[in-house]
Amino acid sequence: MKIIIAGGGKVGAKLTRMLSAEEHEIVLIDSNSKIVGEALNRYDVMTLQGNCASVEVLEQADVGEAELLIAVTGTDEVNLLCCLTAHYMNKAIHTIARIRSPEYSGQISRMRETFALSMVVNPERQAAREIERLLRFPGFLKRDTFARNRVEIVELQVNEDSVLDGLALSNLENVAKCKVLVCTVLRNGNAMTPDGSFVLKEGDRVFVTAPTYNLSLLLKSLGILPRKVKKVMICGGGRLSYYLAQLLQKSGMGVKIVEKDHDRGINLAKQLSKADIVCGDATDWAFLESEGVSQYDAVVALTGIDEMNMVISLYGGKSGVPQIITKLVHMESNVLSDLPLGSIIDPKELCSNIIVKYVRSLTNRDCAAITVHSIADGQAEAKEFRIEKNSKYCMVPLKELHLKKNVLIVCINHGTELVIPDGDSYYEQGDTVIVVNSRQNIVSQFNDIFEY
């Protein structure tokens, strides 16, 4: 597919990397010639230097032939104008714009209609939603949903006194009291695909597939008592904090926002009537103590600086806050996986994943995955496929299939019924199937999962 990406910032670069790896023909436009040159050296794409909203530049990018335009420059207005111009030049083009200013957030759906945008992404808002989901089920480090939010792959940490420590996976069903499946275990930084004889150890990070309605039962039976989150401390008062505070208030949680800048604090106080806004430095230990950080159920570090967020999270963990969420934008999260930073959120990564998902659904004609999540620090991927007419081995019990090494079928959705499969399960046409594979053997179509 021919795709134009406008803006080579973090999201733009990430999209360029992911989409060019999927063999799309990409033209990247950025006004900074350094960014453009770097991208040309790194990815198999064509680049253009210039203003992406100008007709001349879009013409050079061959917008008439392109199927999709993704506008992810730093400015909302430029993104919008870029999509409008492209749509004016090519009526058939799909357009995605990143719009993140809270002032526009109320009019997104109207803008989408009038400006004929295919999709509007708002990284901060998406991240806020993700954080809210995590806070609803404390105990999981990460939740990835499939099959219209009915199945999830959740990440758990095996702690010292956990029932999971020393447990063989064949025994898991008895302990969990519901049917779940461990798809990947991350031990010492290496992702492994376990079988029934695999024994969990302290320090492992476990990725479990379970239907959403079983999550609370799972938490309870694993002895991870879901202490309901009632009070949240948010450090940093940016856009993301605003969206998050709004969402949390709606679900009835108490929110305190710590913001350094006084004017910004006043602004937030104007916008959020119920939240406590305090003005101070969140990296100051004494200050956090005086605000009673240890009394909170969760600390969410969302300042603009990664290092500060890490410090805040470490403080929070030290003072015994059970749930920690850290925003990290510029760091490779797998380098830091040993630090007790709790769940790590990267709004830009979330945003690019959503866009990539959309692109995949556009190209879905050739049996590509419907949903893709990267799990285990990017060492494994979970993908949801629809079983088509040409999919192999329909109606054959799974134990008779020869899957490639490190590939696992973790869930079969048969109509309204969710099946966590065992050896006798099978799939048929019309089902969707979730497959987890490690990074080495890249699966792009469903039929790729078989050895032969």
Partner 1 sequence: MNYKVIGKYVGHILLIESILMIPPLLISLAERQYRAVVGFLVAILASFVVAMLLRVLCKDTKKTFYAREGMICVGLCWIVLSLFGCLPFYISGEIPHFVDALFETVSGFTTTGASILPEVESLSNGILFWRSFTHWVGGMGVLVFLLAMAPGKERGSGFTMHLLRAESPGPDVGKLVPHIKETAKILYILYIVLTIMNILFLLFGGMPLFDAICTAFGTAGTGGFGIRNDSIAGYSPYLQNVCTVFMLLFGVNFSCYYLLLLRNVKSVFKDEELRLYVGIVAGSILLVAWNIKDMYATMGETVRHAAFQVASIVTTTGFATTDFDLWPSFSKAILLCLMIVGACAGSTGGGLKCGRLLLLFKSLRRNVHQVLQPHKVQVVRNNGRPVDEQVIANVNAYLAAYVLIGLVSFILISVDGLSVTTNVSAMLACFNNIGPGLEAVGPVCNYSVYGVFSKLVLIVDMLAGRLEIFPILALCTRSGWKRR
* Beta carbon nearer to partner 1, 94 or 205: 94
Cβ atoms of 120 and 99 within 8 Å: the answer is yes
> Which pairs with CB-CB distance under 8 Å and at least 24 residues apart come from 311-319?
311/283, 312/235, 312/282, 312/283, 312/288, 313/340, 313/341, 313/342, 314/339, 314/340, 314/341, 315/283, 315/285, 315/288, 316/233, 316/288, 316/342, 317/341, 317/342, 319/288, 319/289, 319/293, 319/294
Number of other residues whose CB lies within 10 A of the CB of residue 144: 20
Residue 27 Cβ vs partner 1, minimum distance, rounded to whole Å: 6
Which H helix or E strand runs over 300?
A: strand 298-301
Residue 19 Cβ vs partner 1, minimum distance, rounded to whole Å: 10
* Beta carbon nearer to partner 1, 45 or 229: 45
Residue 1 Cβ vs partner 1, minimum distance, rounded to whole Å: 11
* Beta carbon nearer to partner 1, 37 or 423: 37
The answer for residues whose C-beta is within 8 angstroms of residue 241's C-beta and 6 or more apart is: 234, 257, 259, 268, 302
* Beta carbon nearer to partner 1, 33 or 101: 33
Which H helix or E strand runs over 412?
A: strand 407-414
Task: Kindly state the tokens that stand for 425.
Answer: 């399960």
Beta strands in 158-198 (DSSP E): 181-187, 190-192
Query: Which spans of this chain sit near partner 1 (rule: CB under 8 A)?
Result: 2, 20-21, 23, 25-27, 33, 39-46
* Beta carbon nearer to partner 1, 126 or 352: 352
* Beta carbon nearer to partner 1, 50 or 226: 50
* Beta carbon nearer to partner 1, 23 or 77: 23
Residue 41 Cβ vs partner 1, minimum distance, rounded to whole Å: 6
Beta strands in 31-129 (DSSP E): 46-49, 68-71, 94-98, 119-121
Residue 61 Cβ vs partner 1, minimum distance, rounded to whole Å: 10
* Beta carbon nearer to partner 1, 50 or 317: 50
Residue 394 Cβ vs partner 1, minimum distance, rounded to whole Å: 28
Cβ atoms of 376 and 191 within 8 Å: the answer is yes
Written as one letter, the residue type at 312 is I
Residue 21 Cβ vs partner 1, minimum distance, rounded to whole Å: 4
Question: Tell me, what DSSP letter sits at residue 309?
Answer: H
Nearest to 21 by CA among 416, 352, 302: 352
Residue 215 Cβ vs partner 1, minimum distance, rounded to whole Å: 36
- Report the distance separating Cα 77 and Cα 449, nearest Å: 44
